[in-house]
Amino acid sequence: MPDTRAFAAERPRLVRLAYRMTGSLAEAEDVVQDAWFRWAGTAPGTVVNPAAWLTRTVTRLCLDHLKSARVRRETYVGAWLPEPLLGTVDPEPVADDLTLTLMLALERLSPLERAAFLLHDVFEVALPEVAATLDRAPAAVRQLAARARRHVAAARPRYTVDRGDAERIAAAFFAASRDGDSKALAGLLAADVTIHADGGGRVLAFRNVIRGADRVRRLYAGLARKHGDTPPKLLAMRWIDGLPGYVSRERGDVVQTTALELREGRIAAVYVVRNPDKLAHVLALHAAAATRG
């Protein structure tokens, strides 16, 4: 069997790559596990560069996975959002700035464009190795990465948000949305704010994007009036895929994550994940924290 230490050393990076390719931590773990089985099946000493071999294997497994994932998402109920990645769940310190917003931009790319951009621009794999991984000529890979880079640049925020200010806005939004406080919401929301909710058909969620500050204010005011006796409970303030947000237990005992995209001090988009299939690691993390507490 090959050296298990070499695989263990690469595993955190491989999970990060697979997550950013698939948008799912659970699927990323499955892909890396599959890569482990393939790694274990190689003869000792036959792999000269373990990091390159494993990166190539995981990327190709992800490309195969995305072919079937695209078909599944065509029949997905409501909005599809990446599986929420909480700061302390990421297997190693985040070395890139791919926020949830930028992950959604990557979703609009072809699998090959996505792989070329991630490998070359994010994980700094040399162009010849990316070309070998994707079985394409270097010139073709350069074009794939360039197209992806333009899409990502268009989605990348052109402003910076102070971490403390972002966290205060997230806390204020939770309180205002919980209470249906229209005045407080008016001071937090951008005029063209949107809400995207992913329930996956498993739990109740908005199937269509909610657009506009007035509609969002009326929505939360109506929910507070209707369910005032069972308000949402804050479980934790967290950063979610690089965006400020929180984990909460909502009416009907549904756990959800809420991530906020900020623009010039206002909330430009709200991303809510309620699909329980995407929240297993969030629930496990919260349970572990509760046990320690």
On whether both 257 and 222 belong to a single domain, the answer is: yes
pLDDT at residue 207 in the model: 87
Each residue's pLDDT tens digit, 45-76: 788 899 999 999 999 999 998 887 666 667 78
- The H or E element that residue 234 is part of is strand 233-240
pTM of the model: 0.86
Contact indicator for 244, 260 with CB cutoff of 8 Å: yes
Q: How far is residue 70's CA from residue 83's CA, in Å, rounded to a whole number?
A: 15
On whether both 56 and 174 belong to a single domain, the answer is: no
On whether both 130 and 28 belong to a single domain, the answer is: yes
Contact indicator for 194, 269 with CB cutoff of 8 Å: yes
Q: Which of 19-33, 86-100, 134-148, 274-288 has the lowest mean pLDDT?
A: 86-100
Which residue, among 249, 250, 258, 260, has the nearest Cα to 287 in the 3D structure? Answer: 249
On whether both 72 and 190 belong to a single domain, the answer is: no
CATH number (domain holding residue 52) = 1.20.140.160
Q: How far is residue 159's CA from residue 149's CA, in Å, rounded to a whole number?
A: 18
Q: Is the predicted pLDDT of residue 88 greater than 60, yes or no?
A: no
Each residue's pLDDT tens digit, 114-160: 999 999 999 999 999 999 999 999 999 999 999 999 888 877 766 67
Is 25 or 176 the better-scoring residue by pLDDT? 176
On whether both 40 and 138 belong to a single domain, the answer is: yes
Structural domains counted in the chain = 2
On whether both 73 and 136 belong to a single domain, the answer is: yes
- Share the mean pLDDT of the chain: 88
Each residue's pLDDT tens digit, 214-249: 999 999 999 999 887 889 999 999 999 889 999 999
pLDDT at residue 90 in the model: 39
Is 98 or 91 the better-scoring residue by pLDDT? 98
Helices and strands: H and E segment counts in the chain:
11, 6
On whether both 89 and 203 belong to a single domain, the answer is: no
On whether both 45 and 120 belong to a single domain, the answer is: yes
pLDDT at residue 192 in the model: 97
